[in-house]
Structure 1
């Protein structure tokens, strides 16, 4: 078909992130687009958006699973879209994909000028290192191009994407594998130039072994040209096997509708075969939200109301509606619904209005719904039923009843509160009695001061110091070891901090948080009793009393991963900020399992509004934004955790040199500017670590310690990245490299970056 004078254009989105504007000009051509993205829940939305330049269409949509360690620049908050992927040197028009590539990536051949460039190839098997971020298939790496007579090789040129707002730049990946067995004085050395900038120097790519070079941060130019220049002392010209170019796409994961709500609304859609515009994410982007669906402004958004009136629904009322636990209003009126009203609707705890009128329902209203209706918690609208006569007449008066009920309950609560306070005051004046705060979990053990003296052998074995007191070792009657933290603060401050820690520990339950056994509030004697962690703290093993047993890299990774999981639980599961995250508050059990302790400074926070509170924390770990603004949110814990990540890499404390007081973040940046990870890593590792995993942790630490909290990842993101690091290190330990395979070039994973950003391997000069 001939070229169209009016090209078809429409936008592609992945979830709520803009991908690309398609420009279809030739109906006889194939248009294929690819993106590497991380699934944040069970659904991935690929949306075709009409921009009034023709009707969008799609011929096929294919999803291919990748290993979590592939493509290091694709993670939860960022996807990577492909600009091109080329295989250099194969037979003309040859395209390599599945089954040669198990991930079914498409590797088209690169059209080159045979007058100045020749191809070389091998039938030898291409081996790879223990960790390979790209896993390029053998047939791609078994061919390459090299100049015929010139010492230079210039590849294809390309431009920035002008139609992408604030063009983010490109990630480039170059695959370099030597296919000729060099002998005698033969050598292949060359410089790579991006435009006029010396991007990297290559010294003898490894023979028949997969290696690659990539930039860890995108390079931003208006035009891109790669030139490979042979060095004067090299006997062979440059070589190139394959190349991939991507651009980063910001993925607003926190703008995706809550996964549970998505699951529920998709079930409703399937039950009634609803069409409308119900495609893509239900709530985001806001201007494309589903018809009849109203969402709140939470992060992630939740479905607040659902209006399906006059929608032609038929059959029974589905139990799937009950999965939408955030809904306050559900309107199913004026449809052809029949049968009984399901009791499952009563489980929708936030539901305030339920309109079922204009249907063909029969039978009784479930008793649980009637109780809510009669108590004023729910406004139920239904045409007729045998047990709800006169309910519609009561609807108007419900508001008055609710108001009166609230007033009565409030007055009674005030009276009861005054009586309780008076009673507690009387008890405290008696002295020596054990006071039980009604806000503390009732299942906890309550200890008297005398019992604590017995447990700790009269407080004879101190083992540490916590947020508000000294910690002693002790034994319960059944010989269970415990840690007893005894308060040594002023009574007013002590009572406040004591209650904070006891309440915090009694409310949270996670395998990586210390378990609270009980407490003592015996007059002015305050103490907390919790499980004993035999191995001490992470601080002890990095620099403290147990520093002689310096943990190896994999052990440190596992410890910080478990600590990160606990913080993620506090943030997302409890809405709580720890406020004093540090290596001495990460305790270790017998098998070095990690548990976070010392919640005495913890505060509940709102997901909508940051809390402004008094400044608390430990110097060296404190969020600089928090120190300036006194505004606390969960990203303050993220900053502190980033400092801990730098501690496990370097083995150094947060503040170095008592006189000059150099912060560890500044130190790491200074060392990285030299381009060598060896200057950063704890010398006690003695080289026993995978370079990729260390670089990834360093990069993560730098992200966590950014000055502006909005630019830091969430603890959920941190957990994902650390799991990848653990996996990389496990692969490394399963097949450790020979010493000759550990040089910069031969590591098989060389990352380049000319910015101040951090890469996963040695940076370019």
Structure 2
């Protein structure tokens, strides 16, 4: 490490040197050394960049550096407005500096800390609780626990369950910020007063804990460090992310520690970046036992424990000779999860074990292989459970930013914390609509002691209809920005000290009855040249609004009639001209058939194999016996000619291995038909819910089909500038070997990559983009939404719209089931559990991203391709492991219990 002593030595040497060139060289060298020293110092300090460390209940203005970690902590008064500070009873000792004080919340049902973060970034949030009989009520007893709920944003994190007044309870969650703030809220459940001792937030590298997303956070069940011979807790600065690695106390007659001082190599893309001090120790059996069992129970205080995600960290610490080997299988509840694992010498490695709550007791076993000379090894372990994030329930980001800015601008002291539109904990004076996400529609700040000018931040409330700022001490002009709030219907500014004139736009809206404006006129009001522009009061004239609406409607009807009349006059001429142009754009290599040839090809249209976008599809053979599908136009199809030419032109211009190949077409008088390659396996829909649904596609086949279809759509979007417009499972056709090809481009349209296209609404119910339905604005993200619906069809085996007592869209169905915490209820039962859980979770999260309401928040098809490749790779690893699984040997059993219902055992168990 560099020290400051090296700096004066460097300058002394330079001062004594007489050679000026040599002096310049040495000066440059010295500055490089100084720069390196400064960089090292800055780097050490910057490692805490983004840390939020709050000592809850500490006196206002407190700031100190923790002796053991070096982390700076501050008081919580700038993060929350409610609650009362306390110190724990002196009879109790605090294991950490932060736990000696706490903040208690006896008056409000919900109390939230607001942590400013970066939207889209990943964080570890830790809340710590030490009761210490601060209120002298002796609430925390085993028989009568002190309980309250803990929320992350609007989603339930867990129920805090305090049964020991002297115990420090720490709970962590890994979450992705969906806005530029995170709320941590304590909610009273009538089982004791909520309190908190410390709250900490740590930024995480985006590559860490890749399964965490904006839709799903992960709460920790435990994180253990195996192998140290004495009690030690690993956290910052050893762990740069300040994760807490608890020491596992073990029986030395059963387990033994192995360790190394060698540096453990971390892969630069490692998903966990476990500190060296954790990986340099491990546990292994003392004798010849060859099974390691790690077991854990459902925590009784956890209300949404439905699944678990375990990460086993394993590194070989012994340099093995040629005749030594360490190899073992990893099981979850008697089912193999990872076969033939071999830890690498001094190289960090890990394996996932993901499962569902099938019972109250879950077991992970490490089983020694026959050809292994050494038993299993385990360095560390983390277990998490998923929390489904209710992001649709969080108020619109611009509204939250606006209301929080108004609060800060006027220094409003109210119990305004957490989501302002939370249905159970709405803010005083704030009203919201029932949209998803909800929006603030009314704000009443009358008699609130506001002073100064009217804040510009009110303009951030994009959906507000009623703003009451009456009876405050506001002064200055009425700002023009209020006129830009187009949704505003009622504005009450009376009872203030405003001066100047009212903006003309506000006066005009008031005079037409579109705004109810209420404001006082004092002696110093600025009068314009005519009295009509002076400040005045007027109520909304509802009858005038009705007249305006009726007039607008009549004008619209007249416009439509005139438009239809013009279309009737010029329509035929334009269609005739358009048809000629489209025919000229059809690729010359595409063969043109006449009607008689089609009769020969289809054996007089004898075999029907389906129906397409504009007609019936027939099976046929060309003269060389190549099988083809012939899609013939029906007489009932009024758009036949237009759609026919569109599909032929589209298919003739695009070429991709996962797009149906055009063979030819027929335009013979009134007879229209498209001839394309025949795909014998039918459509994806047929195998999910159609005529071939009895032959179940396994998970790998489903992923491969979707990947190929996604590649075709990505080609259309990026290579051709084309939107398909009718993406659905029945338009994904399957070849003999289940290769996928996208068909039916009849609704496709060319579009500009920079400008959205506005078109007539087309598509198939259940697949149509909701944003497209509202705005008639089409872009490639409309196809992404439709593809997201297909993803949900594939994972559930259900139709896009499920009919019953009440019909429900598949997107809403999946969201509801995920909110209940059960992936088992989502996955198609015909798969019979034969899939990698991690693959399915990533897949479902991708489906949720694709079907977001706002198209800007959806991934591109290129992104979808990448995610599907990841899902497929994970599933292929599982299938390879299943094929390579070895027979298991007999084993001997011993058991050890630890806190949090966690135990590590070495057992004798026949398999």
- TM range, normalised to the smaller chain? 0.5 to 0.7
> Which of 148, 154, 164 is the equivalent residue of 2:286?
148
In 2: Cα distance, 1:607 partner to 1:359 partner: 43
In 1: Cα distance, 2:311 partner to 2:491 partner: 56
What residue in structure 2 maps to residue 237 of structure 1?
A: 375
Q: After superposition, where does 1:316-355 map in structure 2 within 5 Å?
A: 316-355=453-492
Report deviation, 1:704.
7.1
In 1: Cα distance, 2:479 partner to 2:248 partner: 62
> Which of 429, 441, 448 is the equivalent residue of 1:292?
429
What residue in structure 2 maps to residue 474 of structure 1?
A: none
In 2: Cα distance, 1:558 partner to 1:247 partner: 33
Report deviation, 1:62.
2.6
Q: After superposition, where does 1:358-397 map in structure 2 within 5 Å?
A: 358-384=495-521, 386=527, 394-395=538-539
Q: After superposition, where does 1:183-222 map in structure 2 within 5 Å?
A: 183-192=321-330, 201-222=339-360
What residue in structure 2 maps to residue 275 of structure 1?
A: 413
Report deviation, 1:89.
1.0
User: Which TM-score applies when normalising by structure 1?
Assistant: 0.66
Aligned to 1:539, the other structure's residue is in SS state: coil
In 2: Cα distance, 1:214 partner to 1:256 partner: 31
Asked whether the equivalents of residues 221 and 383 of structure 2 are also in contact (C-alpha less than 8 Å), the reply is yes
In 1: Cα distance, 2:309 partner to 2:463 partner: 40
Report deviation, 1:234.
3.6
> Which of 780, 784, 799 is the equivalent residue of 1:625?
799
Counterparts in 2 of 1:233 and 1:528: CA distance versus 1, 3 Å: closer
In 1: Cα distance, 2:520 partner to 2:378 partner: 75
Does 1:51 find its partner at 2:194?
no
Aligned to 2:491, the other structure's residue is in SS state: strand
> Which of 300, 311, 321 is the equivalent residue of 2:448?
311
What residue in structure 1 maps to residue 139 of structure 2?
A: 6
Counterparts in 2 of 1:713 and 1:128: CA distance versus 1, 3 Å: farther
Asked whether the equivalents of residues 289 and 375 of structure 2 are also in contact (C-alpha less than 8 Å), the reply is yes
Report deviation, 1:241.
0.6
What residue in structure 1 maps to residue 256 of structure 2?
A: 118
Asked whether the equivalents of residues 190 and 203 of structure 1 are also in contact (C-alpha less than 8 Å), the reply is yes
Aligned to 1:179, the other structure's residue is in SS state: coil
What residue in structure 2 maps to residue 656 of structure 1?
A: none
Report deviation, 1:253.
1.0
> Which of 555, 563, 588 is the equivalent residue of 1:461?
588
Counterparts in 2 of 1:85 and 1:326: CA distance versus 1, 3 Å: same
Counterparts in 2 of 1:718 and 1:430: CA distance versus 1, 3 Å: closer
> Which of 405, 412, 415 is the equivalent residue of 2:548?
405
What is the CA deviation profile of residues 488-544 of structure 1, one whole-angstrom value per residue up to 9, with x for unaligned ones?
A: 78697319x97xx9xxxxxxxxxxxxxxxxxxxxxxx98799999976346239999
The structure with the largest alpha-carbon Rg is 2
Does 1:540 find its partner at 2:683?
no
Asked whether the equivalents of residues 195 and 226 of structure 1 are also in contact (C-alpha less than 8 Å), the reply is yes
What is the CA deviation profile of residues 151-177 of structure 1, one whole-angstrom value per residue up to 9, with x for unaligned ones?
A: 156566543122333531322211122
What is the CA deviation profile of residues 427-485 of structure 1, one whole-angstrom value per residue up to 9, with x for unaligned ones?
A: 62577544xxxxxxxxxxxxx7547746864756377999669xxxxxxxxxxxxxxxx
- Which consecutive unaligned segments of at least 5 residues does structure 1 have? 435-447, 470-486, 502-524, 571-575, 611-616, 640-664, 678-694, 734-741, 748-764
In 2: Cα distance, 1:488 partner to 1:259 partner: 50
What residue in structure 2 maps to residue 690 of structure 1?
A: none
Report deviation, 1:55.
4.4
Counterparts in 2 of 1:420 and 1:227: CA distance versus 1, 3 Å: closer
> Which of 124, 134, 140 is the equivalent residue of 2:272?
134
Asked whether the equivalents of residues 170 and 219 of structure 1 are also in contact (C-alpha less than 8 Å), the reply is yes
Counterparts in 2 of 1:716 and 1:428: CA distance versus 1, 3 Å: closer
Counterparts in 2 of 1:219 and 1:336: CA distance versus 1, 3 Å: same
Counterparts in 2 of 1:562 and 1:461: CA distance versus 1, 3 Å: closer
Q: Which moved more, 1:299-308 or 1:411-420?
A: 411-420
> Which of 844, 850, 859 is the equivalent residue of 1:719?
859
In 2: Cα distance, 1:91 partner to 1:419 partner: 89
Asked whether the equivalents of residues 710 and 864 of structure 2 are also in contact (C-alpha less than 8 Å), the reply is no
> Which of 589, 601, 605 is the equivalent residue of 2:763?
601
Asked whether the equivalents of residues 154 and 225 of structure 1 are also in contact (C-alpha less than 8 Å), the reply is no
Aligned to 1:34, the other structure's residue is in SS state: strand
Report deviation, 1:365.
0.9
Asked whether the equivalents of residues 307 and 357 of structure 2 are also in contact (C-alpha less than 8 Å), the reply is yes
What is the CA deviation profile of residues 562-612 of structure 1, one whole-angstrom value per residue up to 9, with x for unaligned ones?
A: 98999xxx9xxxxx99668754579999xx99x9999742787768999xx
In 2: Cα distance, 1:352 partner to 1:147 partner: 75
Aligned to 1:370, the other structure's residue is in SS state: helix
Counterparts in 2 of 1:637 and 1:147: CA distance versus 1, 3 Å: closer
Asked whether the equivalents of residues 483 and 506 of structure 2 are also in contact (C-alpha less than 8 Å), the reply is yes
Asked whether the equivalents of residues 577 and 634 of structure 1 are also in contact (C-alpha less than 8 Å), the reply is no
Report deviation, 1:275.
2.6
In 1: Cα distance, 2:553 partner to 2:868 partner: 58
In 1: Cα distance, 2:570 partner to 2:864 partner: 58
Asked whether the equivalents of residues 605 and 633 of structure 1 are also in contact (C-alpha less than 8 Å), the reply is no
What residue in structure 2 maps to residue 479 of structure 1?
A: none
What residue in structure 1 maps to residue 396 of structure 2?
A: 258
In 2: Cα distance, 1:488 partner to 1:295 partner: 51
Report deviation, 1:85.
0.5
Report deviation, 1:255.
0.8
Does 1:36 find its partner at 2:174?
yes
Report deviation, 1:104.
2.4
Aligned to 2:424, the other structure's residue is in SS state: helix
Does 1:494 find its partner at 2:613?
no
User: Which TM-score applies when normalising by structure 2?
Assistant: 0.56
Report deviation, 1:332.
1.3
What is the CA deviation profile of residues 132-155 of structure 1, one whole-angstrom value per residue up to 9, with x for unaligned ones?
A: 332322322121011212515656
In 2: Cα distance, 1:229 partner to 1:268 partner: 61
Counterparts in 2 of 1:360 and 1:726: CA distance versus 1, 3 Å: same
Report deviation, 1:407.
3.6
Report deviation, 1:701.
4.5
Asked whether the equivalents of residues 660 and 743 of structure 2 are also in contact (C-alpha less than 8 Å), the reply is no
Asked whether the equivalents of residues 126 and 210 of structure 1 are also in contact (C-alpha less than 8 Å), the reply is yes
In 2: Cα distance, 1:451 partner to 1:199 partner: 60
What is the CA deviation profile of residues 618-670 of structure 1, one whole-angstrom value per residue up to 9, with x for unaligned ones?
A: 9999954336549696949999xxxxxxxxxxxxxxxxxxxxxxxxx999958
